[in-house]
Amino acid sequence: MSDLPAPAAVLEAADVRKIYPNGTEALRGVSMTVRHGSVHGLIGANGAGKSTLIKIISGVETATDGTVAWRGQAVRWTSPAQALSAGLAAVHQHTPLVPAMTVLDNVFLGPARAVTWDAGARADELGRLCDRIGYHLDASRPVGELSVGARQMVAILQALARDPALVLLDEPTAALSPSERDVLFRSIRRLRDQGTTFVYVSHFLDEVLDLTDRLTVLRDGRVVVDDATAATTKDDLVTAIVGERLARVEASAPPPHSAGEPLLVVEGLRSTGRFGPIDLTVHAGEVVGLAGLLGSGRSELLEAIYGADPAATGLVRVAGRRLRARTPHTAVRRGLALVPEDRNRQGLLRDWPIWRNVSLPYLAELARHGLPDADRERELAERAVTDLGIKAPDVDTLVGELSGGNAQKVVFAKWLYGPARVFLLDEPSAGVDVGAKADIIQLIRRLAEAGKGVLIVASEFEELLSACDRVLVMRRGQLIGERVAAQTDLHELTALASGL
C-alpha cells in the first residue's frame, strides 16, 4: 500500500486488529477504504466490532495491530482531539451537549479560535452552516428545551462547525422521527455533493441502502461485505449480518389464538402534560403493541402504568386487583415487569456482574431468611444465559462489558424467572442487531404462549407487526386507533401515528 497515495481515499484502515486486555478479540483484521466525497456505510450486528472500529478510527482507542491511514499518511491518534484537528469529526448517538447553553454556544463549544466571543460573527457562521445543510433552528434556544432529534442536529452542526473532511455518524437516526430523518439525509447528501465525506453507522438497513455509496459489513470482527451499495440488496445484507440465523423476524407471524382473561386493565389513566386519559386492556396470552412516534407519550404511558410517574392519576388493575400505591415497588409485587427504554440508565447496574443484575428484582424471593443465596442466583443467571443465548464468558462478566443486544437480554432475564405476569416493554430491541432482535421477538411470543400479557412500545412498526396480536396507535398523548396486527400494514400504522 506504499504505492497507493490515492487522493481518493480519505481514510484507509488496513488489517486492523484489536484484542482487549480481557482477551476479547473484537477485530480480526479489518480493512476499509473510505473514498473522498462519498457516504460510506458501516453495518454489522452488535458485537461484530463496529463500535471498536469506530473508536479506533476516531482516536478513542488504539489498534493492537494494523494501520489507519488518513489522506495517505499513516496515523496513530490517541485521542479524539487529534482526530478532530486532523479533520475527522465524530457524532455519536449521544453526543454530550450542555443543556443550559444555547444552540449557538453549543455549536461553537470547544475550539478557541479567538480570545473574544464575537456572538454576531458566530451567529452569521451558524446561519451559513444551516444554509449549507438546509436545516434551520432557533440559535438562541437552550439545548435542554430541544427535542431529541433537534439535539442530534445540533451535534451534527457542532461537528460541521469545525469544517471536517470526514464526518463519522454513529447511529444518528436512532432517536429521530421520520421527518427529522429526512432532513438529516437531505443534509448529508447536500454536504456530500459539496465534498464532505461521511462514514455512516446504522442498524437500519433501508437507511444504509438509501443513503450510502459504498458499504462495509462486519461480522465477528471481520469484513464480510465491502462493495458498492448499488450492487447489494437488503437480502444480501441481512444474510451477511446474521449469517445463518436468516430472517426469523419475518418467519414468526403470530399464531391466531383466543385471548384469555384480562390481565392488565387501565382506565382513565392520565398525566397532565404528558398523555391521557387512556383506557386499554391486555389479556393473558396476548401481545399488544403501542405504535407511536417519539414524543407521542408512549414511554410516559408505560411508566405511568408501572407506577413510576407520581403525577399520574387513574385506575390500573393487574389480574383484577387494583394497584393502590402507585410505585414501581407495588407494581413489581403485583406482577408487573418493565423493560425500560434506556437500559444503561434505567435497567442495569453496569458495574455488577450478570448474576447480580438478573437477581435484582426478586432477590427477596430467592433469598433464604433474608440472606441472598449466591448459588441459586448464579444458577438462575446461568439458566438465563443459556435460555436467551447471552454471549458472555460466564455469569461473572460485568454487564458493562456486554454488547447492546446481550445487555438487553440481561434486562429481560431479570423478569423472566419471577412471578411477573404482565410485561411492559419499552423499545425492547432498540440498538440491538438483527439476530438479537429475532431472538427477542421469539422471546416475546414465548411469553404470550406461557399465558403472560405483553405491552410493547416500539419505533419500528415492522417489529410490532411481527410480534403483536393487536396494535394500538398513539398520537399526541391519545390512543387514536386500534388494529388487529394481521389486518393492518406498515403504511397504515405509519400514517395513523404520524397523523397523515
Partner 1 sequence: MTSEVRRRPAWVQALAPRAAGVVYAFVLLVAVLTIASEAQGRPNYLRAINISNILDQTSLVGISAIFMTVVLITGNFDLSVASTGALAGTVAIKMVDSQGPAVALIVALLCGAAVGLINAVLVQKVGVNAFIVTLGTLTAVRGVVQAILNGNSITANNEAFHVFATAHWTMPQGVAIGVGVVLLAGVAYLATRSDHRGRVLGATALLWVTGLALFLIGLFQKALLDQTLPVWLMIALTVVVSAVLRYTVLGRNLYAVGGNPEAARLSGISVDRYKMGAFVLNGVVAAGVGILYAGRFNSVDPTVLTGNELTVIAAAVLGGTSLFGGSGYVAKSVIGALILFTLSNGFNVLNIGSNYQNVVQGLVLIAAASLYTATSARGRSLVRDRLAAMRARRQAPSADRSEEKELTSAGR
Instruction: Tell whether residue 370 is a contact of partner 1 (CB under 8 A).
Output: yes
Instruction: Name which of 122 and 391 has its Cβ closer to partner 1.
Output: 391
Among 164, 276, 289, 340, binds partner 1 (CB under 8 A): 340
What are the C-alpha distances in Å from 190 to residues 135, 177, 216, 293, 476? 11, 20, 22, 27, 32
CA-based end-to-end distance of the chain: 53
Question: Which residues, in sequence order, are bridge partners of residue 458?
Answer: 291
Instruction: Tell whether residue 356 is a contact of partner 1 (CB under 8 A).
Output: yes
Enter the C-alpha cell of residue 486: 394481521
User: Of 88-96, 192-200, 277-285, 366-374, which segment contacts partner 1 by CB under 8 A?
Assistant: 366-374
Instruction: Tell whether residue 281 is a contact of partner 1 (CB under 8 A).
Output: no
Instruction: Tell whether residue 387 is a contact of partner 1 (CB under 8 A).
Output: no
Instruction: Tell whether residue 435 is a contact of partner 1 (CB under 8 A).
Output: no
Instruction: Tell whether residue 376 is a contact of partner 1 (CB under 8 A).
Output: no
Among 12, 61, 105, 463, binds partner 1 (CB under 8 A): 61
Residues 70/148, Cβ–Cβ less than 8 Å:
no
Residues 21-40 that bind partner 1 (CB under 8 A): 21-25
What are the C-alpha distances in Å from 91 to residues 57, 158, 200, 386? 13, 9, 10, 36
The residue to which cell 432475564 is assigned: 413
Among 81, 100, 311, 349, binds partner 1 (CB under 8 A): 349
How many residues at the interface with partner 1, by CB under 8 A?
A: 54
User: Measured between alpha carbons, how far is 171 from 184 in angstroms, rounded to an integer?
Assistant: 12
Instruction: Name which of 21 and 195 has its Cβ closer to partner 1.
Output: 21
Tell me the per-residue interface mask from 294 to 313 with partner 1, x by CB under 8 A, - otherwise: ------------x-x-----
Instruction: Name which of 87 and 372 has its Cβ closer to partner 1.
Output: 372
Q: What are the CB-based long-range contacts (under 8 Å, 24+) for 78-83? A: 83/57, 83/58, 83/59
> Smallest Cα–Cα separation from 451: which of 415, 480, 421, 412?
421
User: Measured between alpha carbons, how far is 34 from 314 in angstroms, rounded to an integer?
Assistant: 55
Instruction: Tell whether residue 351 is a contact of partner 1 (CB under 8 A).
Output: yes
φ, ψ of residue 407 in degrees (nearest 5): -65, -40
Instruction: Tell whether residue 346 is a contact of partner 1 (CB under 8 A).
Output: yes
Q: What residue ranges bind partner 1 (CB under 8 A)?
A: 21-25, 47, 61-67, 74, 76, 78, 306, 308, 327-329, 331-333, 338, 340, 345-352, 356, 360-361, 363-364, 367, 370-372, 374-375, 391-394, 396-397, 403, 406, 414
